[in-house]
Amino acid sequence: MASVHHMRLLDVVEAVNDVATSEDETLATVTFLINTGKVRFCGHLAGATINLSARAVAAPSARHRGLRPS
């Protein structure tokens, strides 16, 4: 039986990011872990998955948030 560890999503993202070679690899790995059930949300997000096709809509550019690009 697999052991259960209760972690924040941020902890998972940071752990993956420490070994990933790019932001895209971090995103793909965390998405895979969640969508395959290897990492599961609890509480009101229990059973949720990540849909990357919504990525462009969910992350508007800095210009649309009223920020100046650096």
Return the structure tokens found at 46: 């229990």
Residue 4 pLDDT > 90:
no
| Euclidean distance between CA atoms 2 and 36, whole angstroms | 15
CB-CB neighbours of 46 under 10 Å: 8
Convert 30-52 into a string of H (helix), E (strand) and C (coil): HHHHHHCCCCCCCHHHCCCCCCH
Query: Would you say the pTM of this structure is higher than 0.75?
Result: no
Domain boundaries, the chain: 9-65
The C-alpha atoms of residue 40 and residue 60 are separated, in whole angstroms, by 27
16-52 confidence digits (pLDDT tens): 999 999 999 999 999 999 999 999 998 888 999 988 8
